[in-house]
Chain A
């Protein structure tokens, strides 16, 4: 029991948050709850606080739409929130696709596909290209390009509004991550993840490495969906500064030697300075 708690406490917490949010959204549509209305594109919390997807707003801007004040307020709230908790905290704590890709990843390592190809054939920079491309297409076509193909919104709307789930897209992502590319969707392609990576560069809560405790077991790098961000393991006591870290805290909980933990950006910087 203690083992499970030590090794999976954040994972359990993340699932509780992810599923809890889905239940709240679902309840708003099905039973009229007012805790969390709308969906991940734009929500209202407790019937007052707006929160809107800044990436969707960016596409609207590119497409030439007028941005309403209400929307801008929602965008501001979401941006500030993720600046605080870590940009890609969205990916590991909120996004429903995360459960799909995590499942594919677990199955992948159980089945041993990871040992098949050591070197990943694809660049993790692709998401930024796709992000840029989505804005160009939005501008040229005059519609929000990613919003019309986003499997994230398809799945989320499907769960919240019960409208034909968008199973196909979800299955494609699952199979892609399982058979084709490790962390394929979330770690390489997803432009929303790319967007939050850029935002996350500046965010406050960070994972911190304490080199003096590290026994070089590399469990953290194995479990990390964005292992390139952990380049300092065993080398330097610094925070993970890449925005691509999802703040999933898997590394923290698999580490048996207390060589990883959460820290606040300011404090972290002081520590490394000293």
Chain B
């Protein structure tokens, strides 16, 4: 009887301090791991956007996300109210970071670029918008204008040069190409063309575009541009042709490919040739 009693009381004995400590630790680590996963999943989602246009001088998006402290000093410095901080709930815009929507308010490319030097963190990098130590908004790279030729009415043959006129670096960033309108036989096409080497992505063209939804619009440069790859060489371009100088004449023999020709050409066949 008494034996039984002690057995029961033994079972219900409170946990030893050591045991308690270990259990508490384990629970703490478990909860931390759980919240860590949820938290990082959320942060990953919240910072995934690639389509945002950043203020002039913004560093690479990856670095921008870790460097910008979300103070809004750039927003306050902009005299045109171009810049905004992303609000909660804008799920495709990383919370609190500055961006602009050119169709609403474009960047007017101030020559003194007031938004950049105020940035305390270097997320907006003065040196990336300076030439010889002087601020130079013309080398800013906020994005690149892209024309949808199917909705641009100038490509239809209707006279419009709204974007060309709006461009602060007209003649360089946008030019007009004349072409014969074979449909009417007596009119000319005056087609706007954007040049990626001069366009800053300010968006004045997008702002000015007369179509219902703009036929010219700004995209981040990495998204707007393709890449030919290093194995294509412009033989007619002296500086590009130079890349051939160090090339070897090693001959590769390969088996007959089982892949489709188009896959092969875009693949690795030419790799290592130069």
Q: Which residues of A contact B (CB under 8 A)?
A: 28-29, 32, 37-39, 41-44, 50, 52-53, 56-57, 60, 63-68, 70-71, 74, 129-130, 133, 136-138, 140-145, 147-149, 153-154, 157-158, 160-161, 163-166, 168-169
With contacts A133-B36, A137-B40 known, is A52 near B69, CB below 8 A? yes
Q: Which residues of B contact A (CB under 8 A)?
A: 28, 32, 35-36, 39-40, 42-44, 46-47, 62-63, 65-67, 69-73, 75-76, 84-89, 94-96, 118, 120-122
Query: Which residues on the B side are within 8 Å of A52 (C-beta)?
Result: 69, 71, 120
Query: Which residues on the B side are within 8 Å of A169 (C-beta)?
Result: 88
Q: How far is the CB of B30 from chain A (nearest CB, A)?
A: 12
Query: Which residues on the A side are within 8 Å of B71 (C-beta)?
Result: 38-39, 41-43, 52
Given contacts A32-B76, A50-B120, 6 further A-B contacts (CB under 8 A): A29-B76, A71-B121, A143-B43, A147-B96, A158-B88, A163-B85
Task: Specify the chain B residue showing the minimal Cβ separation from A167.
Answer: B88
Contacting pair A60 B121 (CB below 8 A)? yes
Which residue in B43, B69, B94, B122 is a CB contact (below 8 Å) of A145?
Answer: B43
Task: Specify the chain B residue showing the minimal Cβ separation from A53.
Answer: B69
Task: Specify the chain B residue showing the minimal Cβ separation from A166.
Answer: B88
Query: Which residues on the A side are within 8 Å of B84 (C-beta)?
Result: 161, 163
Instruction: Give me 12 A-to-B residue pairs in the complex whose CB atoms sit less than 8 angstroms apart, sorted by A's number.
Output: A42-B120, A66-B67, A68-B122, A137-B36, A137-B39, A144-B69, A145-B39, A145-B40, A148-B96, A158-B88, A163-B86, A166-B88
Contacting pair A39 B35 (CB below 8 A)? no
Contacting pair A133 B39 (CB below 8 A)? yes
Which residue in B42, B65, B87 is a CB contact (below 8 Å) of A158?
Answer: B87
Q: How far is the CB of B46 from chain A (nearest CB, A)?
A: 5
Report how far A164 CA is from B95 CA in the complex, Å: 12
